[in-house]
Amino acid sequence: MRLFFFMLVAAAASAARAGDDLSFAAPFDAVAATGDRQVSPAWRAHGSAAVHRNFARLTPDRQSKAGALWSAESVGADQATLELTFRISGQGQHFFGDGLALWLSADRAFRAGAFHGADPRFAGVAVVADTFRNDEAAAAHRDLALVASGGGAADAAALLEGAAGCDASVRYHENRGDFSVDRSSRVRLAVAAGAATLAVDAANDGTWVECAAVALPPALDGAWLRRAHVGVTASTGQLADNHDVLALAVRTDGAPAAPAADAPAAAAAAAAAAADAPVTAARLGAVEGRLDDLVRRLEHLQHHLEHEMVSVDDHVRVTLDKLARQEEQSEGRIDALEQRVVSNVEESLAKRVATLEQATRDAVQKRVASVETRYMSRLGDVVAEKVEGSGRGWTLPFVVLVLVDVVAFVLARGWYVRFKKSHLL
């Protein structure tokens, strides 16, 4: 009997340790070997997720982002209660999205996908906070949906079709005058005895509302939760929001997740009332309450400054990226313009040189033809003048020359004949 009692105590302690290992809350002071902050050594960040001291931002208020936190350790128990504290906020007043999801998945490693940053082909339970309201499916839309899957769904639409859920205002407009980093929401997911239930505290003021309940599919056997890993993912598309995770409390001993401690509202009043009282335990308690209140205010200020600085840093980085892209585009346009100018100049010069060459060639040919015509005309005139001036005086010498040639030929032939007879015969 004593051994059985000790086994129960050890099992309870092991379950409590598993829940403690998976739980986390700000401030996040753990730093990985890479130098990046961690929400806990038992968790890994993926995608656009960035861990800051007071919150983990899964996605900035930018389009086409996806980020995740995924536990490196499994739940290791047959029942679990998860309480997630988160903040969805952004600059958009009427258009924003897409959403955030809390997962209990049989996948040991994170798998990115199109279902709020994760693969819809999962086996387990998910809570989906969908802030984008599609007008075409407004009647079926739920701000919060509870999904249980055995791993057969191929896409998000199949998972959400007919899913149980409820509406809750879990999104905050950062340009409102009453926006504060203290604004956040909570969801509580409880899984036990083949069923899952969801409750929501939309304003994080302790007002819990039962939202949905589903039976687990047969594919999720009695031991699946022991092997399951916890994850939180978020994504943006054409619309965007900041998706921040503030804390996650995990209990595996059947008790509800421990709520955050409420601030003593009367601390300041008690300290003021005891200002003139003697030093007593009550007065010391009031002073201690006052100091706690100041510490909380300081932490709030630190959180607010970090939230603003992260936003400023994101805006500056995006602006620098835009300037860099504009500079690249400008350089490309300048290069194209320069090439176009050079091409136009070269083409213009080539045309002008060709025109000049042709004009020069035509002018030279015309000039040569003119000179040739003029000189030939003058030469013809001179010859005609000489011929006309000489008359017939040249006929007699020509006749005499012909007679001399005939006589010479006859004499030469006679000499050849005599020479041939006397010497060759």
Radius of gyration of the chain (CA): 50
Contact 196, 189 (CB under 8 A): yes
Which token pair is 396?
A: 């007699």
pLDDT attached to residue 270: 43
Q: Are residues 254 and 307 in the same domain?
A: no
Under DSSP, is residue 126 helix (H, G, I), strand (E, B) or coil?
strand
pLDDT tens-place values along the chain, 425 residues long: 444 343 443 444 444 455 678 999 999 999 998 899 999 999 999 999 999 999 999 999 999 999 999 999 999 999 999 999 999 999 988 888 889 999 999 999 999 999 999 999 999 999 999 988 765 555 668 899 999 998 876 777 888 887 899 999 999 998 888 888 889 999 999 999 889 999 999 999 999 999 999 999 988 887 899 999 999 999 999 999 999 999 999 999 876 655 443 333 333 444 444 444 466 777 777 777 777 777 777 777 778 778 777 877 787 777 888 888 888 888 888 888 888 888 888 888 888 888 888 888 888 888 888 877 877 787 777 767 766 665 556 667 777 787 887 888 888 877 777 776 666 55
Give the amino acid at 424: L
Which token pair is 128?
A: 């989906």
Contact 246, 88 (CB under 8 A): no
> Per the structure, how many domains does the chain have?
3
pLDDT attached to residue 137: 54
Q: Are residues 245 and 348 in the same domain?
A: no
Q: Are residues 143 and 155 in the same domain?
A: yes
Name the domain boundary from 222, 241, 259. 259
Which pTM does this prediction carry?
A: 0.66
Nearest to 243 by CA among 100, 46, 113: 100
Q: Are residues 356 and 207 in the same domain?
A: no
Residues 67 and 45: their CA atoms lie apart, in Å, by 8
Domain with 399 in it: 392-425
pLDDT attached to residue 105: 95
Q: Are residues 128 and 250 in the same domain?
A: yes
At residue 83, φ and ψ (nearest 5 deg) are -125, 110
Q: Are residues 385 and 408 in the same domain?
A: no
Q: Taken in order 14, 19, 22, 24, is the CA torsion positive or negative?
A: negative
Q: Are residues 201 and 333 in the same domain?
A: no
pLDDT attached to residue 226: 94
CA 288 to chain CA mean position, Å: 49
Contact 147, 216 (CB under 8 A): no
pLDDT attached to residue 178: 80
Q: Are residues 36 and 64 in the same domain?
A: yes
Contact 227, 77 (CB under 8 A): no
Q: Are residues 229 and 332 in the same domain?
A: no
Nearest to 20 by CA among 85, 99, 73, 90: 73
Q: Identify the CATH number of the domain in which residue 166 sits.
A: 2.60.120.200
pLDDT attached to residue 223: 86
